[in-house]
Amino acid sequence: MTDDLPNPALLPAGLADLLPPDAEREAALVEAMMGVFASHGYERVKPPLLEFEDSLLAGSGAAVAEQTFRLMDPVSQRMMGLRADTTPQVARIAATRLGAQARPLRLCYAGQVLRVRGTQLAPSRQLPQVGVELIGGAAPAADGEIAVVAVEALAAVGVAGVSLDVTLPTMVPALLDAAGVDPVLRTRLARALDRKDSAAVAALVQGQDAALAVLPGLMAATGPADGALAALEAAALPESAQAIAENAAAVLAAIAARAPGLRITLDPVEFRGFRYHTGVAFTIYGPGMSGELARGGRYVSQNDEPATGMSLYPDAVLRAAPVMAPKPRLFLPVGADGAAFRAEGFATVAALAPDDTPQRLRCTHELRDGAPVPVVTKD
Amino acid sequence: MDHPIPTPLSPATPEDAGPIVLALPKGRILSELGPVLARAGIHPAADYADESSRRLRFPTEDPALDVIRVRSFDVATFVAHGAAQIGVCGADVLMEFDYPEIYAPLDLGIGRCRVSVAEPVAATGEDPSRWSRITVATKYPNIAQRHYAARGVQAEIVHLNGAMELAPSMGLAKLIVDLVQTGSTLKANGLRETEVIANVTSRLIVNRTALKTRPEAIGTWIARFRAALAERDAR
d(CA A308, CA A353): 57
Q: Residues B153-211: pLDDT tens digits?
A: 999 999 999 889 999 999 999 999 999 999 999 999 999 999 999 999 999 999 999 99
Mean pLDDT of B124-139: 89
CATH number assigned to the domain comprising residue B28: 3.40.190.10
Q: Are strands B133-138 and B175-180 parallel, antiparallel or unpaired?
A: parallel
Mean pLDDT of B83-99: 92
Residue B11 lies in a domain: no
A106 and A30 within one domain: yes
Q: Residues B11-26: pLDDT tens digits?
A: 334 445 578 999 999 8
Predicted local distance difference test score (pLDDT) of residue A359: 92
> CB–CB of B105 and A265 under 8 A?
no
Predicted local distance difference test score (pLDDT) of residue A33: 97
Shortest distance between the Cα of B15 and any Cα of chain A, in A, equals 4
Q: Which residues of A touch B216 (CB under 8 A)?
A: 223-224
Residue A2 lies in a domain: no
Residue B170 lies in a domain: yes
**Helix orientation angle between A171-179 and A239-258, rounded to the nearest 10 degrees:** 160
Q: Which residues of B touch A267 (CB under 8 A)?
A: 212
Query: Which among B2, B5, B3, B1 is positioned nearest to B212, based on CA atoms?
Result: B5
pTM, to two decimals: 0.86
DSSP string across A25-58: HHHHHHHHHHHHHHHTTPEE----SEEEHHHHTS
> CB–CB of A291 and B4 under 8 A?
yes
DSSP H helix total and E strand total for chain B: 7, 11
Q: Which residues lie across from B21 on neighbouring strands?
A: B66
Query: CB-side exposure of A19: number of CA atoms within 13 Å?
Result: 0
How many folded domains does chain B comprise?
Answer: 2
Q: Which residues of B touch A274 (CB under 8 A)?
A: 2
According to the annotation, is A283 in a ligand binding site?
A: no
Residue B73 lies in a domain: yes
How many folded domains does chain A comprise?
Answer: 3
d(CA A129, CA B175): 47
* Chain B residues contacting A via beta carbons under 8 Å: 1-17, 77, 80-82, 99-101, 103-107, 206, 209-213, 215-216, 219, 226
Q: What domain range includes position B91?
A: 20-111+201-234
Regions of chain A where pLDDT drops below 70: 1-2, 289, 378-379
Q: Residues A85-137: pLDDT tens digits?
A: 999 999 999 999 999 999 999 999 999 999 999 887 788 999 999 999 999 98
B117 and B107 within one domain: no
Q: Are strands B102-107 and B202-207 parallel, antiparallel or unpaired?
A: antiparallel
Q: Is A296 helix (H, G, I), strand (E, B) or coil?
A: strand
d(CA A144, CA A249): 11
Q: Which residue in the set A85, A267, A288 is minimally distant from B1, CB to CB? A: A85
**CA-to-CA dists, residue A241 to A170, A191, A222, A246, B79, angstroms:** 8, 20, 16, 9, 33
A138 and A69 within one domain: yes
Q: Which residues of B touch A287 (CB under 8 A)?
A: 12-15
CB A51 within 8 A of CB A88: no
Q: What domain range includes position A200?
A: 171-262
Shortest distance between the Cα of B29 and any Cα of chain A, in A, equals 21
Phi-psi region of A358 (alpha: psi -120 to 50; beta: other; left: phi over 0): alpha
According to the annotation, is A115 in a ligand binding site?
A: yes
d(CA A69, CA B230): 51
Please list, residue by residue across A220-236, b when 16 or more beta carbons sit within 10 angstroms of its beta carbon and e when fewer do: bbbbebeebbebbeebe
Asked whether this complex has an ipTM greater than 0.85, the answer is no
Mean pLDDT of B71-95: 93
B55 and B31 within one domain: yes
> CB–CB of A199 and B15 under 8 A?
no
Q: Are strands A50-52 and A79-82 parallel, antiparallel or unpaired?
A: antiparallel
